[in-house]
Amino acid sequence: MTKVKTTCPYCGVGCGVLAKAGHAVTGDPAHPANFGRLCSKGAALGDTVSLEGRLLAPMVDGVETDWDAALGLVASKFKKAVEEYGPDSVAFYVSGQLLTEDYYVANKLMKGFIGSANIDTNSRLCMASSVAGHKRAFGADTVPGQYEDFELADVVLLVGSNLAWCHPVLFQRLAAAKSARPEMKVVVIDPRRTATSQIADLHIPIRPDGDSGLFNRLLVELEVRGLIDASYTDAHVQGLEAALEAARANQSTQGLAAQDVAAFLDLWCGVEKVVTLYSQGVNQSGIGTDKVNAILNCHLATGRIGRPGMGPFSMTGQPNAMGGREVGGLANMLACHLDLENADHRHAVQSFWDAPRMADAQGLKAVDLFQACADGRIKALWVMSTNPVVSMPNADAVSAAIRTVPFTVSSDIIKETDTNRCVNVLLPASGWGEKSGTVTNSERRISRQRPFLPVPGLARPDWAIIADVGRRMGWTQAFDYQSEAEIFREHACLSGLAAQFGKDFDISGLADLDDEAYAALRPTLWPVPKNGSADIRFFANGGFYHAGRRARMLPISTSAPEQLARAGTLTFNTGRVRDQWHTMTRTGRAAKLGAHMAEPYLEIHPQDAEAFEVTDADLALVESAYGSAVLRVLISEKAQRGSAFAPMHWTGETSASGRINPVVAPKIDPVSGQPASKHTPVTIRRFKAAWYGFAAGVGRISPVADYAAIARSATGWRAEIANRAAPTDWEDEARRVLGITSGEATVYADPGRGVARVAICEGDTLLGVFFAAPEPVRVARSAVVDLVGQNVAAAQALAGVPGLDRPQRGAIVCACFDVGVEDIRRAIATGVQTVDALGACLQAGTNCGSCRPELAELIAAAPRPRLAAE
Ligand code: SF4
């Protein structure tokens, strides 16, 4: 079997990959999103496809059953709820991980047949404010440009985006373009100085939610400098004067250095080719939609949109967030960018589907949906391919809400997740590498996901599961799909109908693909109309989707940074790390990805650390009005004073106390319904434990502790632990933590100092090692992990330091070649001064390139070696 061309299942860049069972996944040189590049997550995909932990058979109340029994139960419970309480008594919560064909069938079942719009998606948490902003400005949810615009631009603004970690391949493309054309300028607008700032000519440490004030300031400056493009705005835009008036009154740049603001204005105004990319820092806000429209206003006012090298660009988080938008998989959308509130649109879709009962009003958006679960309005809930108990704000309340619903279902590839522990029925879905369909990336490019692995156990594609339930609910013909190709053709055909209503999303030119052509479909940018070709960029010559084909500039008055944090609190900002994806159900399986950031952390500014009396490597208790988390303190000058950042990936499986979304307020943007996940006021204080520990063993570690974080390692598992109560016997404690009952334990304990070390060996083989101390333990973790499973003397393991033949590597920076931070520091100390030179001597950064910003940071932070002449 040759390698199969498929698409990475993680972020919205949508990289093409070449995959074959048992082989490393590589980038597809022919795919226009990545041209062969991959990031560390994509490169490690081959390590994540094992069957460990997979859900392989349907389960009802914890007992395995067959499909007939499980789906019969699901169909009857949903049907009964609809009959007794009406269509709005049931809900689907779906995911940007679904393929377009899955999404299409789920949306059709809920909106056209059950007759409710209670289908929302985890994409609500990611880009709903961009969708709402696009619709307000353009009349449709249209991303005007494409990736090559970043390479063609003279100035690229990255607003609320840590592109280097969250969309690494696009960052690599941008970095390469800047390197080839150093006159290109990059501006990063972000409260934190992230890895992305490594290539920035200017970093603007915006105050939380200060973005719309800054872009209002820009709009005013564009007018002052005579840069409003009257020929464009006269012909294609309305609302310019009102937007300018609001901008003049709300142009706050509070907290920013005057020279930074001046430099920003000069850069934006000084060239025509400007791309403004924005992501979660803009969207995940109580004023996210206004922030989006403040950005769009500047591009509309100057006509810098839809032409090569210029335009606003919303970057989606998930692999198929765009596909979900296309099929109408949000509670406020109809299929194919048609409008739920428009009776003509509804009737057209109803007639196309031959549907009995169309939803005629918006359904419940994510936060409201789980609130409706909590207060008893939802009688049956189906969660598909997502883990809301980890990812939703106020997550503990979401867990309780799901348990309140009388009948709950989850279709998933993994058996044990925080959400799956709350539901009645588990349905095994086929996963990446097994399923077939399409996804659409952030630049509107439709790519195929193709199978290269056998489907395990009784798993089925999501579309087949949903369609089966539709048939069992009585809609035999409408859900009689035989293949994903058939669903795609129906979706493409419906888009042609939408185009007749003047909508942007038109792939009717793909409606006649036969099965063979669908199987061979190359990455394709939409629109693809039936007759003739279409421009792949939108709006260079107007043609917006509001009545009169004019865009609308919005008056934005939400400009002054809100007083988010009260005195004595910090603004809690949530985000992502480089090598993990969402709730780690896949990336958590790859040891090399766990070695970069092995536990959850709280990044705060040194002055805040001093004020809150925590020091580096302490554990901090983070508390809000909603919940709490315990996180490792990481003090950094890159943090903004008054803010605290934490990544969102850890779960009940990997760090129960490190789950951060129980802390996050369920506050939403009133226009988009998107949660403001970056703005919760919190207090922090030192988490005082009786002892802190580190353990590494050959088997899975499942410590029961006040704080624990586990990660896979190259030799087994590793864990950070802390407990308030001291154990009575350290060997018992070590065995309990490591889950090892056999072997011989060597114990070193100093009760006076509260220090203990335990090594457990079976013959000459080290099964596990455990360290405890009254302060966070200082051991060479990577060296200890390397010893596990090896023939080593217990005394060597208990030393906790690398042997002479095993230099300490430290946290892994280059996941591809397993190069640690200490390896890199040693090389820099010998005089290595560039990222390329580090690559030449250590290979670091020479494969996927995701670590190059961190390599540059380490070089910049290192003391300059003294020259002989100095
Ligand atoms: Fe996958 Fe990385 Fe590409 Fe995103 S940038 S699609 S995670 S390989």
Q: Mind listing the pLDDT tens digit for each residue in 837-847?
A: 888 888 888 87
| Ligand 1 atom closest to residue 17's alpha carbon, by position in its atom list | 8
The residue contributing the CA closest to ligand 1 atom 5 is: 169
Mutate to test the pocket of ligand 1, among 26, 161, 167 (most ligand atoms within 8 A of CB): 167
Report whether pLDDT(62) > 90.
yes
* Confidence grade of residue 42 (pLDDT, cut at 50, 70, 90): very high
Angle at 611 between CA 609 and CA 616, to 5 degrees: 20
Encode pLDDT of 379-424 as tens digits.
999 999 999 999 999 999 999 999 999 999 999 999 999 999 999 9
Choice from 7, 8, 316 to test ligand 1 binding pocket (greatest atom count within 8 A of CB): 8
Name which of 493, 553, 483 is nearest 518 in CA terms.
Answer: 483
Task: Give the nearest ligand 1 atom to 39 CA.
Answer: 2
d(CA 329, CA 105): 10
Q: Three-state DSSP class for 528?
A: coil
169/185 Cα distance (integer angstroms) = 19
Q: What distance in Å separates the CA atoms of residue 155 and residue 147, rounded to the nearest whole number? A: 14
Task: Annotate 29-65 with b (16+ C-beta within 10 A) or e (fewer).
Answer: eebbbbeebbbbbbbbbbbbbeeeebbebbbbeeeeb
Q: What is the separation, in whole angstroms, between the first and last Cα of the chain?
A: 61
With CA atoms as reference, report the closest residue to 4 among 18, 22, 16, 15: 18
Instruction: Residue 594: name the closest of 41, 102, 221, 196 by CA.
Output: 41
pLDDT at 805: 57
Using the mean position of ligand 1's atoms as its centre, give its distance from the Cα of residue 396 in Å.
30
3-state secondary structure of 808: coil
> In the chain, helix, strand, coil percent, each to 5?
35, 20, 45
* Spatial CB neighbours of 691, under 8 Å, sequence gap ≥ 6: 722, 723, 726, 727, 754, 772, 773, 774
Nearest atom (ligand 1) to Cα of 34? 3
- Provide the 8-state DSSP code for 232: H
Distance 276 CA to ligand 1 centre (A): 21
Distance, CA of 121 to CA of 105 (rounded, Å): 14
Distance, CA 437 to ligand 1 centroid (Å)? 18
Per the structure block, which two tokens stand in for 416?
Answer: 């044990």
From the alpha carbon of 40, which atom of ligand 1 is closest? Answer: 2
pLDDT value of residue 870: 36
Q: Closest by alpha carbon to 294, among 206, 235, 230?
A: 206
Confidence label for 186 from pLDDT (cuts 50, 70 and 90): very high
- What's the CA-to-centroid distance between 36 and ligand 1, angstroms? 11
**DSSP string for 415-428:** S--TTGGG-SEEEE
Q: For 332-341, 555-564, 786-795, which range has the lowest pLDDT when averaged over its residues?
A: 555-564
Spell out the residues 6+ positions from residue 532 whose beta carbon is closer than 8 angstroms to its own.
none
- Rounded Cα distance, 575 and 648, in Å: 6
The residue nearest atom 3 of ligand 1, judged by CA position, is 15
Q: List the alpha helices (DSSP H) in 36-153.
A: 40-43, 67-85, 100-108, 124-138, 148-152
- The residue whose CB lies within 8 Å of the most ligand 1 atoms, and thus the one to mutate among 7, 35, 169, is 169
Output the six-digit token pair for 188: 């990063």
Distance 153 CA to ligand 1 centre (A): 22
Long-range CB pairs of 499-502 (<8 Å, 24+ gap) are 499/527, 499/529, 501/338, 501/344, 501/345, 501/348, 502/545
Q: Which residues of 350-371 are buried (b: 16+ CB within 10 A; e: fewer)?
A: bebbebeebbeebbbbbbbbbb
d(CA 159, CA 398): 30
User: Is pLDDT at 429 greater than 70 in this prediction?
Assistant: yes
Determine the pLDDT at residue 30.
Answer: 97
Overall average pLDDT of the 770-789 stretch = 90
* DSSP assignment of 148-182: HHHHH-SEEEEES--HHHHSHHHHHHHHHHHHH-T
Q: What is the mean pLDDT of residues 568-583?
A: 92
pLDDT tops 60 at residue 347: yes
> Rounded CA gap, 823 and 850, in Å?
17
**Å from CA of 200 to ligand 1 middle:** 21
Q: Give pLDDT, residue 864.
A: 56
Atom of ligand 1 nearest to the CA of 8: 1
Q: Specify the ligand 1 atom closest to the Cα of 169.
A: 5
Atom of ligand 1 minimally distant from the CA of 33: 3
Within a 10 A sphere around the Cβ of 128, how many other Cβ atoms?
A: 30
Ligand 1 mean position to 168 CA, how many Å? 7
pLDDT > 70: percent of the chain: 97
What is the distance of C-alpha 206 from the center of its chain?
Answer: 22
Query: Measured in angstroms, how far is the CA atom of residue 413 from the centroid of ligand 1?
Result: 20
Shortest-distance Cα residue to atom 2 of ligand 1: 39
Atom of ligand 1 nearest to the CA of 10: 7
Distances (CA, A) of 335 to 104, 114, 127, 346, 483: 8, 15, 18, 9, 20
The residue assigned the tokens 């092995």 is 598
Q: Report the atom number in ligand 1 closest to the C-alpha of 43.
A: 8
Ligand 1 atom nearest the C-alpha of 7 is 6
Measured from CB, residues less than 6 Å from any atom of ligand 1 are 8, 10-11, 13-15, 34, 38-39, 41-42, 167-169
Q: Which backbone phi and psi does 504 adopt, to 5 degrees?
A: -75, -35
The stretch 520-541 carries a mean pLDDT of 91
The CA distance from 318 to 331, in Å, is 18
Average pLDDT over residues 569-579: 94
Place of tokens 């003509």: 344
Q: What pLDDT score does 562 carry?
A: 54
Nearest atom in ligand 1 to the alpha carbon of residue 167 is: 5
- For the cut 90, the answer to whether the pLDDT of residue 867 exceeds it is no
CA of 636 to the centre of ligand 1 (A): 27
Positive or negative: CA dihedral 390, 391, 394, 400: negative
Q: How far is C-alpha 852 from the geometric centre of its chain's CA atoms?
A: 21
Task: Let me know the angle formed at the C-alpha of 728 by 725 and 732, rounded to the nearest 5 degrees.
Answer: 105
Six token digits for residue 492: 């493409």
Residue with tokens 């589907």: 353
Q: How far does residue 213's CA lie from ligand 1's centre (Å)?
A: 32
Helices of type H across 226-340:
230-236, 240-249, 258-270, 280-283, 288-302, 321-327
Over residues 347-374, the mean pLDDT reads: 97
Q: Residue 824 and residue 820: Cα distance in Å, rounded?
A: 6
Among 41, 440, 445, 584, say which to mutate for ligand 1: greatest number of ligand atoms within 8 Å of CB.
Answer: 41
332-336, 516-520, 831-835: segment of lowest average pLDDT: 831-835
pLDDT digits (tens, 9 = 90+) for 272-306: 999 999 999 999 999 999 999 999 999 999 999 99
Q: How far is the CA of 811 from the centre of ligand 1 (A)?
A: 22
Closest protein CA for atom 8 of ligand 1: 42
Q: What number does the ligand 1 atom closest to the CA of 11 have? A: 4
pLDDT score at 868: 41
Q: How far apart (Å, rounded) are the C-alpha atoms in residues 295 and 299?
A: 7
Nearest CA to ligand 1 atom 4: 11
Ligand 1 atom, smallest distance to 170 CA: 5
Closest CA to 462 of 490, 441, 481: 481
Within a 10 A sphere around the Cβ of 517, how many other Cβ atoms?
A: 11
Smallest Cα–Cα separation from 448: which of 396, 523, 388? 523
Q: Is the peptide bond before 527 cis (omega within 30 degrees of 0)?
A: yes
pLDDT of residue 835: 86
Which pLDDT does position 517 carry in this prediction?
98
Mean pLDDT of 629-651: 94
**555 CA to middle of ligand 1, Å?**
36
Q: How far is the CA of 648 from the centre of ligand 1 (A)?
A: 18
Between CA 723 and CA 733 the distance in angstroms is: 11
What integer best gives the mean pLDDT of the chain? 93
812 Cα–ligand 1 center, Å = 19
Residue 561 pLDDT: 57
Distance 164 CA to ligand 1 centre (A): 11
Residue listed under structure tokens 């588990």: 426
Q: Which atom of ligand 1 is nearest to the CA of 14?
A: 6
Vertex 708: Cα angle to 704 and 709 (nearest 5):
130
List the Cα angle 762/765/771 in 5-degree steps: 85
Instruction: In whole angstroms, give the CA distance from residue 659 to residue 653.
Output: 10
Place of tokens 């619709």: 135
pLDDT band at 866 (very low <50, low <70, confident <90, very high): very low
Q: Residue 102 Cα, ligand 1 centroid: separation in angstroms?
A: 21
437-440 β-sheet, strand order: 437-440, 445-449, 524-525
How many A from CA of 366 to the centre of ligand 1?
Answer: 26
CA of 16 to the centre of ligand 1 (A): 9
* Best of 6, 7, 10 for a ligand 1 pocket test (most atoms within 8 Å of beta carbon): 10
Gyration radius of the chain over CA positions: 27
The answer to whether 391 and 576 have CB atoms below 8 angstroms apart is no
Strand partners, 731: none
- pLDDT reported for residue 865: 46
Give the span between the Cα atoms of 483 and 490, in whole angstroms.
Answer: 11
Atom of ligand 1 nearest to the CA of 319: 6
Which residue among 6, 13, 37 has the greatest number of ligand 1 atoms within 8 angstroms of its CB, and so is best to mutate? 13
> 253: CA distance to ligand 1 center in Å?
34
pLDDT tens for 801-815 read 766 556 677 777 887
**DSSP result, 621-680:** EEE-SS-EEEEEEEE-TTSPTTEEEEES---TTT-GGG--TTTS---B-TTT--B-TT-E
Q: Which residue carries 């952390």 as its tokens? A: 601
- Compute, in angstroms, the gap from residue 41 CA to the centroid of ligand 1: 7
Instruction: State the pLDDT at residue 560.
Output: 56
d(CA 8, CA 45): 8
Of 7, 28, 38, 440, the residue with max ligand 1 atoms within 8 A of its CB, to mutate for a pocket test, comes to 38
Question: What are 213-246's pLDDT values in tens digits?
Answer: 999 999 999 999 999 999 999 999 999 999 999 9
